[in-house]
């Protein structure tokens, strides 16, 4: 049995549940109001358990507090860990038919179509699902959908770099003032960062990467880590392009977007597990995430009818120098992903350092 479990996990298949393509493909379309779902969730026990991709334990504390303040009596148990670890743990729960998680929100976009085909996800369309860009959801089954657009911008500390007025390109990082000033996430440790380097090098070639290495960047684990280091006065590194801080990343931090290659953006994707122990709590959480009330607060909305908060552009689809649908295709091409990962590992070595503990940087 242990050998069968190992095989199932390595193949990404959960043998203990229905694997028929299109299983239960007709979704339940929600017609209740948030208040009606809220009361149903309270009656169920007032709990929702969420696993959210990320690299700092407290990254989703604002989401937790906002949800619990909005719905008194509800408890949002949210665990943040790297998506590449969480998806394997989900497979193990599915294999053992012992699901303890209600909602999953992950960066590993290639997992969601597989889980849908295997019958692991609840086919359920929250209110607002019809407003989500078609490219960010499974329109047929409604089993998964993006809830917020994540992206890597160019970020730098204006106090540490008082003479830098703007950084308009990735090529700028090869200029003398950035020698010993860059902090970057290992591309061989995070697929979104890997894709960022891939897109840059498609335009600027490996010569750009050779020049970047001559700048002696500091390589770290985790995508929150670079922005933390850039923001802190006690570190010399002052610029990065592998962190997500939204459009208002903090005091003394300025952001820009490149004009010489695309930057990475993607819909961080959510789903409810079909055997979720708290289905009404999960439905409340997902209806809240796609509500206009919540979508108006995110940096870039997944809904076509909502202008994103703080964005200089009308919507993600009209934002220059990015394609938010490209990352999903990249993630599905595991041959290319692995080939690129080993290319960077050969140049940089294995990722070193602890993640996601920011205290250890």
Looking at residue 359, its pLDDT comes to: 46
Looking at residue 56, its pLDDT comes to: 84
HSE on the CB side for 213, CA within 13 Å? Answer: 10
Looking at residue 360, its pLDDT comes to: 45
121 forms beta bridges with 273
Superfamily name and number for 153-263+329-360: Periplasmic binding protein-like II (3.40.190.10)
Looking at residue 246, its pLDDT comes to: 81
Superfamily name and number for 2-9+22-150+266-315: Periplasmic binding protein-like II (3.40.190.10)
Degrees, nearest 5: CA angle 93-28-332: 50
Q: Could you tell me the residue ranges of all domains in the chain? A: 2-9+22-150+266-315, 153-263+329-360
Q: pLDDT tens, position by position, for the chain (361 residues)?
A: 444 344 344 444 333 333 334 445 689 999 999 999 999 999 999 999 999 998 888 889 999 999 999 999 999 999 999 999 999 999 999 999 999 999 999 999 999 999 999 999 999 999 999 999 999 999 999 999 999 999 999 999 999 999 999 999 999 999 999 999 999 999 999 999 999 999 999 999 999 999 999 999 999 999 999 999 999 999 999 999 999 888 888 889 999 999 999 999 999 999 999 999 999 999 999 999 999 999 999 989 999 999 876 677 778 898 899 999 999 999 999 999 999 999 999 999 999 886 544 444 4
How far is the C-alpha of 172 from the C-alpha of 248, rounded, in Å? 22
Dihedral Cα 109, 268, 290, 93, nearest 10 deg? 60
Same fold, 2-9+22-150+266-315 and 153-263+329-360: yes
Q: Are 301 and 133 in contact (CB under 8 A)?
A: no
Looking at residue 309, its pLDDT comes to: 66
Q: What is the DSSP track for 238-301?
A: -EEEEE--TT---TTEEEE--SSSPPPEEEEEEEEBTT-S-HHHHHHHHHHHHSHHHHTTSSS-
Peptide bond into 356 cis (omega under 30): yes
Category of 183 on φ-ψ map: left (φ > 0), alpha (ψ -120 to 50) or beta: beta
Rounded to two decimals, what is the model's pTM? 0.89
């Amino acid at each position: 049995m242990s050998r069968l479990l190992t095989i199932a996990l390595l193949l990404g298949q959960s043998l203990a549940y229905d694997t028929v393509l299109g299983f239960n493909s007709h979704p339940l379309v929600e017609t209740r109001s948030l208040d009606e779902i809220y009361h149903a969730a309270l009656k169920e026990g007032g709990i929702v358990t969420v696993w959210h991709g990320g690299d700092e334990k407290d990254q989703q504390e604002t989401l937790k507090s906002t949800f619990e303040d909005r719905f008194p009596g509800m408890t949002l148990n949210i665990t943040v860990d790297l998506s590449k670890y969480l998806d394997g743990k989900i497979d193990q729960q599915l294999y053992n038919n012992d699901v303890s998680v209600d909602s999953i929100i992950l960066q590993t976009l290639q997992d969601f179509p597989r889980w849908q085909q295997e019958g692991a996800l609840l086919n359920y369309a929250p209110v607002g699902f019809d407003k989500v860009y078609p490219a960010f959801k499974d329109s047929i089954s409604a089993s998964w959908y993006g809830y917020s657009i994540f992206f890597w911008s160019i970020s730098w500390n204006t106090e540490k770099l008082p003479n830098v007025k703007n950084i308009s390109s990735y090529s700028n990082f090869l200029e003398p003032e950035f020698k010993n000033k860059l902090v970057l996430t290992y591309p061989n440790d995070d697929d979104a960062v890997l894709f960022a380097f891939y897109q840059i090098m498609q335009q600027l070639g490996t010569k750009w990467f050779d020049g970047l290495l001559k700048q002696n960047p500091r390589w770290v684990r985790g995508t929150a880590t670079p922005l933390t280091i850039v923001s802190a006065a006690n570190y010399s590194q002052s610029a990065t392009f592998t962190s997500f801080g939204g459009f208002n990343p903090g005091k003394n931090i300025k952001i820009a977007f490149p004009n010489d290659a695309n930057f990475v953006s993607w819909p961080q994707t959510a789903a409810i597990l079909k055997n979720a122990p708290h289905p009404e709590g999960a439905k409340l959480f997902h209806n809240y995430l796609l509500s206009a009330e919540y979508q108006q607060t995110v940096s870039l909305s997944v809904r076509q009818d909502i202008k994103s908060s703080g964005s200089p552009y009308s919507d993600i689809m009209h934002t220059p120098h990015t394609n938010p649908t490209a990352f999903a295709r990249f993630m599905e091409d595991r041959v290319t992903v692995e080939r690129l990962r080993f290319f960077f590992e050969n140049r940089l070595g294995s990722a070193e350092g602890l993640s996601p503990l920011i205290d250890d940087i």
